[in-house]
Structure 1
């Protein structure tokens, strides 16, 4: 073989090697988009699955909401009956009206178990579950369906809770939307930091004694329904008169205690406002002994506990509470615009107007 032929063979060999490497890289890149992953869910369960699921269901209180913060509702193939029956008060449903037309995959609600047969009928690639109280039950559902079940959590306080951030990160990993998950988590943290930075240096004598009443908890309640160590008051470093009791969480106080505290400003959750108005009509003397009622320092709050915490609404409420309590610190904030900024970022649509139509606007409450 002469030198010319040897060179030709060598060149042909090199070209073949280059083409082989190029094809190999292309194949690896394509396969990596649907590669298998292993993750740990909020129950500490280790789950193996393919990434970039195309069909999902989200079951249990609040699971669908967290999913909608991260990825398209077009990938949802079925919803719970409770999601179809109650459309008001849930911004993720207002922003994704097509959800209500999906096939029902179970009753939903905190006291009902998932329906494995109906879940199987819509053939999801993954099930996000907020029925996360019992690891054995979640394992059983996964065994029955043969579909990966990923347990999520809202943690103890829901709004600005690290468990929510972890859950969003898990959803992002499953759906191949890690960047979006990071954006949402950072947005929530930045809002939390902003609320704190606006109020953390205020002196105690600059703070009004405040009370939040008529909070929903497993149903609507009157003015005596409140919350100890209230997360939205904490976010803006407000002075909550209830905290002197030393209890955390949902509380039903004796109404006479409210007279003893006599807070400067009272916030009423729209979810229980009608009950407060009914009670006011029967017992106006009680309410009119309170300075906040006499002085017109009675303010609204959009309800955000509806099939678990509507985090976007809670964040919008926190900005409104801050605007009322510390107008100088929030002088650049228009609460309605801020609410829509939050809804737009989390859900892609501005839904404050619809929330206000269903419940009422941010503003002072008139009892007569």
Structure 2
């Protein structure tokens, strides 16, 4: 069968569109700081300014989130060794990826970064001051390398959605980014809609950041990050009027005087940072019995003397890295279940996290992210 002239041209165009790779085109994206940045998209070569940025990159590439990564910061193996080991087992080539130090620490090697010829460098917004002081944006611009800021830590409840949209645009995965955002929003509404309808009393919650990581007591959160998650989950964040920013500390006397109803401690497997430390090793596939033992041990500190949460057994631990990735909605669900067990008896944060893995992430789900003394 012979094709007409128009049909032949259409067929040739269709063949070329499927046979040729997608050509990058320059567009302007607005990062979370409000900067307009010109980038050729979809990007093919990316430097991750923090290794844990793989958490959100993975949500946009279930097959191989590392396929466009040409370098990354060296924090993931120490900050989250279980997740790193799981990714390494599935993608052994990541062991050969060039690594960088941090911008804030002054150990980022800009000459190495330029040599890798990235299409874009992703940087967390908390490194903005150090990046500007070192003049890195201008230096990179001279060689045609754009830098884009994202944020899942300083103001995650405000910046997660725009950060995911920026990432979707950069990677040519806009639809997938919107699917993730919708999934996240729906998971949060399963908490906030119930609370709005029921309007329960709000327990006072002390949210301890990385308890047992050091002998000092106690790091916590202001009115953002885990502090904001507590509020969304139907609690009152004890430190919100004490800590003016996202992160800070409270002293033991303030905890005792506040007499919190609930205590939630963030933890991780931090043997690489603090060998043999008192931190609570929750996370991907963690040993729940050992995490329970270490959680109970932390209740014996002077700061917890006589407080209501200890008396009632309302002491819990949660994966620290929820503070630095777009999966915070799982933490919000779990915190709500701890604070209001009757209201949320049918809510299953584990099932939510498992569905996230099945729909979006390249790793199989493994439990171990939460532990509690309540009823145990």
**Aligned match of 1:111:** 105
**Aligned match of 2:202:** 207
Separation of aligned partners in 1, 2:194 and 2:114? 49
CA contact (8 A) 2:217 2:251 kept: no
Separation of aligned partners in 2, 1:279 and 1:48? 48
Q: Shift in Å at residue 199 of structure 1? A: 1.6
Which of residues 363, 371, 375 in structure 2 aligns to 1:362?
371
SS of match in other structure, 2:205: strand
SS of match in other structure, 1:322: helix
Which of residues 341, 345, 355 in structure 2 aligns to 1:331?
345
Taking a change above 3 Å as real, the CA distance of residues 89 and 196 of structure 1, as seen in their structure-2 partners, is farther
**Aligned match of 1:45:** 36
Unaligned runs of 5+ in 2: 269-277, 281-293
- How many residue pairs align between the two structures? 338
Q: Shift in Å at residue 233 of structure 1? A: 0.8
**Aligned match of 1:298:** 315
CA contact (8 A) 2:266 2:320 kept: yes
SS of match in other structure, 1:211: strand
Taking a change above 3 Å as real, the CA distance of residues 53 and 96 of structure 1, as seen in their structure-2 partners, is farther
SS of match in other structure, 1:362: strand
Unaligned runs of 5+ in 1: 1-11
CA RMSD of aligned residues (A): 3.7
Taking a change above 3 Å as real, the CA distance of residues 96 and 66 of structure 1, as seen in their structure-2 partners, is farther
Q: Does 1:75 align with 2:70?
A: no
TM-score normalised by L of structure 1: 0.75
Separation of aligned partners in 2, 1:310 and 1:89? 16
Q: Shift in Å at residue 208 of structure 1? A: 2.4
Separation of aligned partners in 1, 2:94 and 2:266? 26
Q: Shift in Å at residue 90 of structure 1? A: 7.1
CA contact (8 A) 1:61 1:110 kept: no
Name which of structure 1's ranges 30-39 and 231-240 shifts more when overlaid on structure 2: 30-39
Separation of aligned partners in 1, 2:220 and 2:145? 41
Q: Does 1:311 align with 2:326?
A: yes
Separation of aligned partners in 1, 2:166 and 2:55? 14
Separation of aligned partners in 1, 2:146 and 2:243? 42
CA contact (8 A) 2:28 2:38 kept: yes
Q: Shift in Å at residue 166 of structure 1? A: 1.7
SS of match in other structure, 2:373: coil
**Aligned match of 1:226:** 220
Taking a change above 3 Å as real, the CA distance of residues 178 and 203 of structure 1, as seen in their structure-2 partners, is closer
Separation of aligned partners in 2, 1:132 and 1:90? 29
* Cα displacement string for residues 114-158 of structure 1 (whole angstroms, at most 9, x for unaligned residues): 4233234444444333354456522422424x3444333337422
Taking a change above 3 Å as real, the CA distance of residues 221 and 176 of structure 1, as seen in their structure-2 partners, is farther
Q: Shift in Å at residue 237 of structure 1? A: 2.6
Q: Does 1:251 align with 2:276?
A: no
SS of match in other structure, 2:100: coil
Q: Does 1:36 align with 2:50?
A: no
TM-score normalised by L of structure 2: 0.74
**Aligned match of 1:141:** 140
SS of match in other structure, 1:73: coil
Q: Shift in Å at residue 327 of structure 1? A: 1.2
* Cα displacement string for residues 163-196 of structure 1 (whole angstroms, at most 9, x for unaligned residues): 2222221222222211111111212222222221
CA contact (8 A) 1:125 1:148 kept: yes
Higher-Rg member (1/2): 1
